Amino acid sequence: MMLEKVIAAYSEAVFDTDRDKAFEVIHDAIAQGVTPEEIVFKVVIPSMEMMIKAISEDFDANLAQHFMASQIASQVTDEMVARFQTSPETIGRVVIGTSYADLHTLGKRIVSGCLRSLMIDVIDLGVNVSAERFVAAALEHDAGIIAISSMMVHTARSERGCLAVRQLLKERGLEDRIKIIVGGAPYTWDTELYKVVRADAWASDGISAGKVIKDLIEGMHK
């Protein structure tokens, strides 16, 4: 019953993008005996999933709200992980960035926040990331996933974007070791576009990206 109340209060604070209230709810719950692990896995993650469903009908109009919610979730998760009894197991590691010539940051930052709240290591490469840098970073950090955000059709389809990353992976024999996931407005408009740019998968939001990434990583380990 206590967890249900915590989830309800935390979700309300997050929906209102009230960071201080969200942390107040979490700290009160910890004081009453809820564990940091329960906060992450039974409060933060379910709350993010509910948030996505609540705003999915008009997702673009609620980008700012989604951004704030993902940042709160990421910050709460960071604080709780530091209090875990044992070091948490991460699902995997991802390098993320916006595609070459794309300077949009909001979508990528939303996804990064969601992924961190889902216990996925995130290496953020920033904006305007070349194919060479994506691949080099994935190798440097031993990341199994390259996540490419594109907010414009021409950067999604560019020969220097995802297509170039795929070509590099193919040339270097890395396609079994590193998978590509893409996201952003062009892929929402055209759900088959990810195949055109030769990505392994696409996701419409941070929560679904976490699930897709988990599936890709598990598939590589079979």
Percent of the chain with pLDDT over 70: 92
70 in a structural domain = yes
Over range 184-194, report the average pLDDT.
92
Close Cβ partners of 186 (under 8 Å, ≥ 6 residues apart): 150, 151, 152, 153, 156, 157, 193
Residue 143: both structure tokens together:
């990341």
pLDDT digits (tens, 9 = 90+) for 117-162: 778 889 999 999 999 999 999 999 999 999 999 989 999 999 999 9
| Residues 142, 179 within the same domain | yes
> d(Cα 35, Cα 5) in Å, to the nearest integer?
15
- Please determine, for residue 163, whether its predicted confidence score (pLDDT) is greater than 90: yes
- Please determine, for residue 167, whether its predicted confidence score (pLDDT) is greater than 80: yes
pLDDT at residue 60, rounded to an integer = 57
pLDDT at residue 93, rounded to an integer = 92
| Residues 130, 190 within the same domain | yes
pLDDT at residue 222, rounded to an integer = 65
How does the average pLDDT of the chain come out, rounded? 87
Over range 29-38, report the average pLDDT.
92
> d(Cα 219, Cα 130) in Å, to the nearest integer?
26
CATH code of residue 167: 3.40.50.280
Lowest mean pLDDT among 32-36, 110-114, 172-176, 200-204: 110-114
> Which of 12-47 are b and which e, b meaning 16 or more Cβ less than 10 Å from the residue's Cβ?
ebbbebebebbbebbeebbeeebebebbbbbbbbeb
200 in a structural domain = yes
pLDDT digits (tens, 9 = 90+) for 40-69: 888 988 887 777 666 555 555 566 777 788
Prediction pTM value: 0.75
| Residues 111, 191 within the same domain | yes
| Residues 54, 102 within the same domain | no
| Residues 75, 98 within the same domain | no
- Please determine, for residue 176, whether its predicted confidence score (pLDDT) is greater than 80: yes
| Residues 140, 203 within the same domain | yes
> How many domains does the structure of the chain reveal?
2
71 in a structural domain = yes
Q: Are 110 and 157 in contact (CB under 8 A)?
A: no
Residue 62: both structure tokens together:
């609620």
pLDDT digits (tens, 9 = 90+) for 76-107: 988 888 888 776 677 789 999 999 998 887 77
| Residues 52, 100 within the same domain | no
> d(Cα 137, Cα 152) in Å, to the nearest integer?
23
Structural domain range at position 17: 2-81
